[in-house]
């Protein structure tokens, strides 16, 4: 249906902040009409914009009086916010920080449920919700790198496995580079840092084992427990090999084989070569 443009209010909860290409879009609308209607909520006499603020601005720029609209009915404001969030994550150029602020508002309005419960309410994968919360907790330097399109949301998740100080160092380094999201090998940078840190800690772990004179069985349990406290610690196995006796390696290998996890498989391959 056609609705008068002056009857539509923009949504203060819309996380979108940039509206590039409005002039081109306005010219296209004048030439071909508005192909995709905007979505609005009926407020009894006026309408609240849910989706299509860029199209609405373009129509205003084109001096149009009415705009093709799809009217959506919501039972409450929370339902509307959830719809707005799901619309935004589907956008090709959606901004992670903007949507993260919206998700936080939804989370608070929903009574601060668990991330698993929140993902079920929104009908999206829990990983997507986890990544947004990780971004919200990230250091300001990391958030700034995201805003500048130097880091993507997935990269922030990789960085979160490092201490805050190291995250800030990498974010500063990335911001100096003439690269954009997806062009910086963040995963590799994080893995290198983890490998250095984990190798140092694993060495300390073996020194502690020798000091306490653990039995081989205790050694295996202690080492497995230690390895599972971190991320991709299997990468430090080559550096740690020289701390092990053949018997210890065989015991460790036997235990690893019962775990059946893709992250352990590289360690199994290394240990198998060493024990022959």
For residue 7, the model assigns a pLDDT of: 92
For the stretch 26-47, what's the b/e string if a residue is b when 16 or more beta carbons lie within 10 angstroms of its beta carbon?
beebeeeebeebbbbbeeeeeb
How far apart are the C-alpha atoms of 86 and 51, rounded to whole Å? 11
For residue 233, the model assigns a pLDDT of: 47
Residue 37 has pLDDT above 90, yes or no: yes
Which pTM does this prediction carry? 0.58
For the stretch 139-175, what's the b/e string if a residue is b when 16 or more beta carbons lie within 10 angstroms of its beta carbon?
bebbbbbbeeebbbbbbbbbbbbbeeebbbebbeebe
Average pLDDT over residues 37-43: 89
118-159 pLDDT, tens per residue?
Answer: 989 888 888 888 888 999 999 999 999 888 888 888 888 878
Beta bridge partners of 136: none
Which residues fall within 8 angstroms of residue 64, CB to CB, at 6 or more apart? 5, 29
Number of neighbours of residue 107 by Cβ within 10 angstroms: 20
How far apart are the C-alpha atoms of 61 and 72, rounded to whole Å? 25
Asked whether 108 and 81 are in contact (CB, 8 A), the reply is no
Asked whether 76 and 41 are in contact (CB, 8 A), the reply is no
For residue 224, the model assigns a pLDDT of: 60
With cut-offs at 50, 70 and 90, classify the pLDDT of residue 226: low
Asked whether 96 and 155 are in contact (CB, 8 A), the reply is no
Query: For the chain, what is the mean pLDDT?
Result: 78
1-73 is classed CATH 2.60.120.10: no
**Where is average pLDDT lowest: 53-67, 71-85, 248-262?**
248-262
Alpha-carbon 83 to chain mean position: 19
Domain boundaries, the chain: 1-73, 190-275
How far apart are the C-alpha atoms of 71 and 51, rounded to whole Å? 11
In the chain, % of residues over pLDDT 70: 69
H or E segment to which residue 19 belongs = none
């Amino acid at each position: 249906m056609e609705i008068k443009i002056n009857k539509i209010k923009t949504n203060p909860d819309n996380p979108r902040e940039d509206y590039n290409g409005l002039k081109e879009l306005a010219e296209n609308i004048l030439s071909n009409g508005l192909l995709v209607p905007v979505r609005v909520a009926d407020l009894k006499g006026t309408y609240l914009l849910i989706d299509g603020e860029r199209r609405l601005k373009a129509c205003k720029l084109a001096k149009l009086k009415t705009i093709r609209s799809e009217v959506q009915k919501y039972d409450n404001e929370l339902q509307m916010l959830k719809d707005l969030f799901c619309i935004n994550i589907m956008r090709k150029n959606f901004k992670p920080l903007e949507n993260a602020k919206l998700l936080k508002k939804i989370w608070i309005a929903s009574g601060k449920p668990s991330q698993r419960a929140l993902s079920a309410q929104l009908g999206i994968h829990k990983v997507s919700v986890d990544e947004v919360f990780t971004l919200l907790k990230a250091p300001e330097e990391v958030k700034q790198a995201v805003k500048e399109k130097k880091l993507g949301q997935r990269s922030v998740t990789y960085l979160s496995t490092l201490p805050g100080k190291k995250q800030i160092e990498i974010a500063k380094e990335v911001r100096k580079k003439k690269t954009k999201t997806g062009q910086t090998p963040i995963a590799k940078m994080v893995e290198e840092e983890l490998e250095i840190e984990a190798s140092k800690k694993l060495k300390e772990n073996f020194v502690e084992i020798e000091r306490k004179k653990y039995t081989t069985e205790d050694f295996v349990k202690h080492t497995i427990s230690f390895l599972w406290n971190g991320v991709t610690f299997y990468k430090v196995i080559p550096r740690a090999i020289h701390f092990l006796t053949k018997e210890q390696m065989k015991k460790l290998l036997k235990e690893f084989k019962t775990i059946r996890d893709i992250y352990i498989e590289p360690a199994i391959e290394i240990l198998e070569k060493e024990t022959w």
